[in-house]
Structure formats: C-alpha cells, structure tokens
Structure 1
Amino acid sequence: MDPFRRRKNNYISLVLLLCLIIPVLAGCWDRAEVNDLAIILATGVDVSKKEEIELSVQVFIPKPVEGGQQEGVSSGNNSSQTLVRSAQGVTIADAMSRLQEKLTRRIFWGQNEVLIIGEKLAKKGIGDQIDFWMGHTEPRERADVFVSMDSAKEVLESMPELERDSAKQLRKLVDTQIGVKVTVKDLSEMLSGDAGAAVIPWVAKMSPSNLGVNKGKNIPFIQGAAVLRGDKMVGRLSDKETRGILWPRNEAKSGIITISLKDDEGFVSLNLLRSHNKLIPKISNGNWSIKVKTNTDLEVIQNTTNLNLLNLKSTKKVKRMVVQVIEKRERLALSKAQKKMNADIFGFAEAFQRDYPGTWKRKKNEWSEIFQKVDVTFETKVNIRRTGLSNEKAKKGGRE
C-alpha cells in the first residue's frame, strides 16, 4: 500500500477513535461525590403558624457499619442515623431554597421515598404541592404518600424500634399489603381522574417505644386511611373500613379473616391467597347501579371450633360466614364514603366512563350528586382451597 495512503488511513482511524473516547471522558465533569450531598430519605410538608409551607426533611447521616451488625438491622440508637431540618416559605419551592441555605451539602432528592402531609395542610388542600412534586426533576414519583394526625415533622423526628428510621418504618408497613399503598404518581392520577377523590394511608398518633435507648420515644404506625375529595381531606376511615375498600378497588392482596359461627364455640381463621374483583356498572331508565363482583381464594390456618372442615356441609357454612364478613366490611366503607363524605374512592366513575362513554360525557359534571344515589350490590364467591388438618375435637366426633 502507498505510504501516503497508509498514513491517511491511520489518521482517519485515530480521529474516529478520539470521537468515541472524548464523550465518555466528558461524562464525569458534573459528577457529585456522596460526601458532598445531603441525601434525603423522607419529606414532610405542614402548614406553619404563619400559614406558610413548612418543609421538613429527614437527612441520612452516612457512617461505617459496626462490626458484627447485620445489614438492615438497627443498633437501637437511631439518633446518629438521621437528622431532621426544616424551613418555611410561601410556596414549597421557596421553602426548598431556604432549606438549602441551612445545609452545607447540596440537597439530593433522588433517594426520597416517603412524602408525609400534615393533617392541617391536607384539609386546606394539597393540589399545588402534588403538582410541584410531579413536575420537579429530582423527587421520586414512586415515593409513598401518607397523611399524619400529628405534624409531618413530628413523624420524621420519631424513632422506630426495629427499623433504621421512620421513613423505612412507614415503607415496611405499607409493603405488607394489608392496607392501602399510594405513591405520589397514584395520588396525582386519583386527584385528576373522573372521580376526583383519593385515599391515603393515615399515620395515627404514635405510641411510645419500650426498647432501651429509644424508651419513651414515639414510633409511627398506620391506622386506617385519610379520604380526599378534590384535593382536600374530608374525613378518614378506620382500619376495618379501610379493609372494606380494598375489595372493590381490587387491592385485597393479603390478610387474615377470622370468623365465629352461630351455635359453634371457637373461631376459624383463614388466610387470603388471592382475590379478583370486578365492577359491573349499569344505567337503566335513569337509574345508576353497580355490582361489586368478588372471587376470592382462602386457606384455613386455624380452627378452634368443633366443625370438621373436611366435611362439605361444614365448609359451606364457613364460606357463607366469610361472604357475610367481606360484604359487611364493604358496606361499612361504602356507607361512610358515599353518604357522609361523598367521595368516590372505589373507582365507580371510571367503571361508568368505560362502559357508558356517551352517557358519562353528558353526566360527568353531575357525578357528585349521582354518586350518592348509585345503588350498589355485591356478588361474592369464596373458595376454600385448603382446609388444613382437622382439629382433635373434630377427629373425636365433633360436629359436622
């Protein structure tokens, strides 16, 4: 090959190689070291005494893992794990900028997994705060949302017994799938949906710890749910009422149902294996109705009655009682949400919009009045997949 052509080819190859390498080398120019960041684990938003937004953050304090301590297990002294800082502003963005002035490290929102809203702010309205959170580039849309009875700041300052911090405590509680679990994205979709209502886990008054270093310190726990209509809190549901809304929302994933039977001493406890729920709407002669159709599988985990659950007659008796318990919980939640709070937290609006798009388009502005008059019926099918071993009483000739 001609020497000139060879040099030319080598030159072209070198230029192409540099073009590939330079972008890679330039990728680190704006990197931030962990030691330069204030890593936010959870955020609380309240209304201050001056009626401004009070923004509180739980900041993680890095420290080496102590020898012999298992990962994820708290040593009991949470005071050195996190710190809480607050700032006030006329808007949440203003409060964020003032908060940065109080921290020597740049605030990093990428690890924020919990957003707690104080009750006072929830009753005043949270639309602006959720819109800001969804539009901000750093905070996670998948962060879990809670409404607290006490101020959000108090919840962040609390010290759980088993977990590293209150943020992890709350995440673990909603991950059990026994109650409702709502992210920022879920909340935004609920508030902007046809129903215009939302339900959020409720952080109740905190009970004092009885363990060592944390003795006397408050720990957060979840008790029911807050109900929003529009973007304002209009009431709350108890634990039992909250479990009642899970079936129509197709969110019943786990839990234990314990029943007692007439004329039989003792109890039968059943574990929920799976559940499928469907809303079947109907509009006839101007009357709006909806059927909540449930098909659920359970297994018996304890039987302290004299019934032999290997007997078909006894199994049918248990099934009938389970159906009554499920539908009683549903009616309890429905009565409070429909009659007292007028908040469609069940997804009825979406069901009517899906099956009757034309009628819905004409009537959606009247949904607030229509919802209170919707006739709701229930069709519940219970399947007991495993009855377990018969108890000793049944083996000795107990009742069928």
Structure 2
Amino acid sequence: MRGSLLNIVFSLLVLSMMTGCWSKVELDERVFVNGLYVDVGKTPGTVAVTISTPLSNRLQSGQESGGGSSSEKPYSLLTQQSTSIGKALETIHKDLSRQLSLSEIKIIMISQEYGKQGISDLLEWIKREPDVPIGAYILVTSGDLQETAHLTPVFEQLPTTVLLSFASQSYMLNTTIRDCIVSETAGLGFAVTQLKNGTIISAADTDKKEVWAGIQGAALFQGDKLKGALPYEEAKIIAWAKGNLRFPIYSVQWDGTRGNADVKFTYTNGRTSVKMTNEEPIFTVHLKGRASIIAKNDPLNRPIKDISGIIMDRLNQKISADFNNSIKATQKAGADVLQLGFLLEWNYPLFWNKVKDKWPDYYSHHAKINVVTNFTFDDFGKEY
C-alpha cells in the first residue's frame, strides 16, 4: 500500500514537471535589453530612455548566416520620452511584439546633462525594479548620447560590447550601479568613466565616416549629482588609487625636453590609509607599481642603466604632480571619489560623527591628502 502511494506521488511529480510552469515566458517571446541609455527629455520634467537589444536573427559568427546579410545591424535601438524611466519603458514595451526583459542589462549610460541634473530617479528606479542587475556598469558621455549609442563596433558585433569593455577591462574605472547606490546612501562621492564621441573612416566606404567613442577621463559625482570631470591623465591616477588601472604608460623628460622616455607599468596597486595627527586626519594614498622602459632618447647617448635613476626620479615627479592635480579637482568639486569618508568612519568613528553631516565641505576645504609612491623597474626593454 505504501509502495503504491509512493508510486502515485512520484508519477504526479513527473507529470507536473512535464506540464511546465504556468508563469514561464519562452525565450523566443522575449526582447532582452543589454544596454540602457538615459538622457534629459526635450520637454522640461521628462526623461528620454533608449534601450539596446541584440537581434539574434542577424548576429554573425564569422560567416554569413541565414538570418540576414552582414550589412544589417545585429541590434536595435528604441527610444521614448516620458515623465519617468518606468513610464518611458512602458511606452517602448507597448509597441513591441515580445515581452521586455531587463535582467540582461550590462551597461547603463547617462548623458552629462542628466548627470548634472541628478541621477537619484535612476537609482531609485533600479532599487525598486527587481529585474535590473545592480552589478550593471555605469558610464557617462560628454557627447551626444544618441551618437554614443550608435557607435560603430569595429571589432565587435554590438555597441554595448564595446562599452562593456571600456567599463570592465580596467582601462579606467569599473563603477557599477551598486557602487553608486552605496555612495549616495553614505553621502560620499564616486567616479565614473567618461567617454567622448568622434568619427572614424568607414572600413567599407572610405568616403564615409562612422561614429566612434573613446575614453575621455572620469566624471566626478558627489551624492547623486555630477560635479566635475578629470582629463585622461589625471583620471588614471584615481583609477590607480582605486586599484582599477591596467598597463598605464607615462612619458617623462629631462635636460629640458632633449631627453625623454616612455615607461609602461606591468603591475599597479593602490590603497589608502589615514592617521590622526593634531586632532585632524591625514590621508595617504599609496601607489605601487612595477614598470618597463619601452622607449628612451638620451642626448648624451648613455646606457639605459646609467640613466634609470633619472627616469625613475622624473616618473615619481610626474605621477605625484598628476595626483595632486586630480585631488585638487575632486576637492574643488566637493566629490570624495576615493571615499575617504568610509576610511575615516572605520578608523576614527568619533571624529567622523563630528564631520559626517558636512563631509563634502570638510573634504573640499580641510582634508589633507598625501601620496606615497613605490615604483621599481622590471626591465629596460631589449637594451642590455
């Protein structure tokens, strides 16, 4: 009797699995969004939202497929404007033949104008929309957002793949939505990779120019608002201090401008520390790296080993100067993008309680931040 009952229960379980889930939506009934672009709307008080979706029937795998010719773009961009991000997406969704899926979003890009206005609405929507991954990367463009969305993916199939590389491969910063939410909640700053637009000559038609995008530097946020920006060289230092920078190259000079060398770092590491001195905190950013000399031009034609000390000295001066310029810019913007406030709260909570309500002002006018460098040469290139 017991065996028969078990057989019945087992049969029912098998049958229930065969019938499928009633709430399931088949893959071919979905439109997967991999990129979200947010801009200020043309009408005051509105927001313009663009989604990027791959078109599986046009994706190429190195050879022609039956889904379409190589001249067809394997992605679609759809834009709508409304009073909120959710309403704009609803407007896009109602005209689609498939169900919109936001769970595959990898990149969220905003315009500079939207960043200056404040991204609190974007962050609030993401907090409440369960399908959007908070691990999605965020980027800022100083150019036209629609142009950036339509960039030409020279080595890739999708523009979002290019943007994902900018965000995730340590070319600059790898800021995610999670980082933004944590920083905004704590009242601290954060930095985001900023892109610029340009044009390149089409590989298919030399008389035609196509949209291109590249890294310009870093956008500086305090709370939810864009407060300033750093050019590329100074933005590299912020990425280095946060442990994100990969294979940076620096150029140094001596004897006026007659002597020069290029140095490539094969390893970089950054960390921050704080020490209380005379009842005020002193922050120190430690930059460590190993480098190779990949080019040199010495007017006296000395062996590379004889001038390596000069090159190292100039390298320390160059990177320290870039660091001081970047810190001054962040303090002018009142944006604690290195999140030294967290460090202060952890190590000296009593002092933090005194300044946390006015931290942006304290960071701008009173924070003392030093840099310590520790560099070594791995090799001198092919010269012995």
Which 10-residue stretch deviates more, 254-263 or 371-380? 254-263
Deviation, structure 1 residue 56: 0.9
| Distance (whole Å) between structure 2 residues aligned to residue 335 and residue 389 of structure 1 | 39
Corresponding residue of 1:257: 250
Q: 1:125 to 1:356 in 2, by over 3 A?
A: same
| Distance (whole Å) between structure 1 residues aligned to residue 243 and residue 73 of structure 2 | 41
* Aligned-residue CA RMSD (Å): 2.6
Corresponding residue of 1:69: 63
Q: 1:276 to 1:202 in 2, by over 3 A?
A: closer
Q: 1:70 to 1:301 in 2, by over 3 A?
A: farther
Q: 1:83 to 1:94 in 2, by over 3 A?
A: same
**Aligned pairs for 1:1-400 within 5 A:** 8-18=1-11, 20-22=13-15, 24-51=17-44, 52-63=46-57, 69=63, 77=71, 79-194=72-187, 196-212=188-204, 215-262=208-255, 265-305=258-298, 306-309=301-304, 311=305, 314-338=307-331, 340-372=332-364, 373-390=366-383
> Could you tell me whether the CA contact under 8 Å between 1:352 and 1:360 is conserved in 2?
yes
SS class of match (1:204): strand
Which 10-residue stretch deviates more, 13-22 or 182-191? 13-22
Deviation, structure 1 residue 359: 1.3
SS class of match (1:275): strand
Which 10-residue stretch deviates more, 358-367 or 168-177? 168-177
- Unmatched 5+ stretches in structure 2: none
Residue type of the partner of 1:55? V
Which 10-residue stretch deviates more, 137-146 or 264-273? 264-273
Residue type of the partner of 2:117? K
Corresponding residue of 1:4: none
| Distance (whole Å) between structure 2 residues aligned to residue 39 and residue 19 of structure 1 | 34
Q: 1:28 to 1:180 in 2, by over 3 A?
A: same
Deviation, structure 1 residue 296: 1.6
Deviation per residue, 1:319-339 (Å, 9 max, x gap): 22221121111111011111x
> Could you tell me whether the CA contact under 8 Å between 2:190 and 2:338 is conserved in 1?
no
Percent identical residues: 17
Deviation per residue, 1:160-203 (Å, 9 max, x gap): 33322221121123334121121211222222235x21211112
> Could you tell me whether the CA contact under 8 Å between 2:144 and 2:197 is conserved in 1?
no
> Could you tell me whether the CA contact under 8 Å between 2:152 and 2:211 is conserved in 1?
yes
User: What is the TM-score when the length of structure 1 is the normalising length?
Assistant: 0.85
Structure 1 ranges of 4+ moved more than 4 A: 64-68, 263-266
| Distance (whole Å) between structure 1 residues aligned to residue 74 and residue 58 of structure 2 | 11
Q: 1:108 to 1:273 in 2, by over 3 A?
A: same
The structure having more radius of gyration, on CA atoms, is 1
SS class of match (1:253): coil
Deviation per residue, 1:107-155 (Å, 9 max, x gap): 1112221111122211111012112123312222222211122343332
Which 10-residue stretch deviates more, 60-69 or 176-185? 60-69
> Could you tell me whether the CA contact under 8 Å between 2:199 and 2:212 is conserved in 1?
yes
SS class of match (1:298): strand
| Distance (whole Å) between structure 1 residues aligned to residue 184 and residue 64 of structure 2 | 41
> Could you tell me whether the CA contact under 8 Å between 1:208 and 1:218 is conserved in 2?
yes
| Distance (whole Å) between structure 1 residues aligned to residue 336 and residue 92 of structure 2 | 37
Which 10-residue stretch deviates more, 325-334 or 79-88? 79-88
Residue type of the partner of 1:69? Q
> Could you tell me whether the CA contact under 8 Å between 2:183 and 2:223 is conserved in 1?
no
SS class of match (2:377): strand
Q: 1:307 to 1:111 in 2, by over 3 A?
A: farther
SS class of match (1:112): coil
Deviation, structure 1 residue 240: 1.2
Q: 1:209 to 1:83 in 2, by over 3 A?
A: farther
Q: 1:278 to 1:112 in 2, by over 3 A?
A: closer
| Distance (whole Å) between structure 1 residues aligned to residue 302 and residue 186 of structure 2 | 48
SS class of match (2:154): coil
Deviation, structure 1 residue 239: 0.7
SS class of match (1:369): helix
Provide the aligned length of Structure 1 versus Structure 2. 376
> Could you tell me whether the CA contact under 8 Å between 2:138 and 2:167 is conserved in 1?
no
Residue type of the partner of 2:214? F
Q: 1:220 to 1:68 in 2, by over 3 A?
A: closer
Deviation per residue, 1:256-286 (Å, 9 max, x gap): 2232233784533222222232322123334
> Could you tell me whether the CA contact under 8 Å between 1:244 and 1:332 is conserved in 2?
no
Deviation, structure 1 residue 302: 3.2
Residue type of the partner of 1:184? I
| Distance (whole Å) between structure 2 residues aligned to residue 223 and residue 203 of structure 1 | 5
| Distance (whole Å) between structure 2 residues aligned to residue 369 and residue 67 of structure 1 | 53
SS class of match (1:278): strand
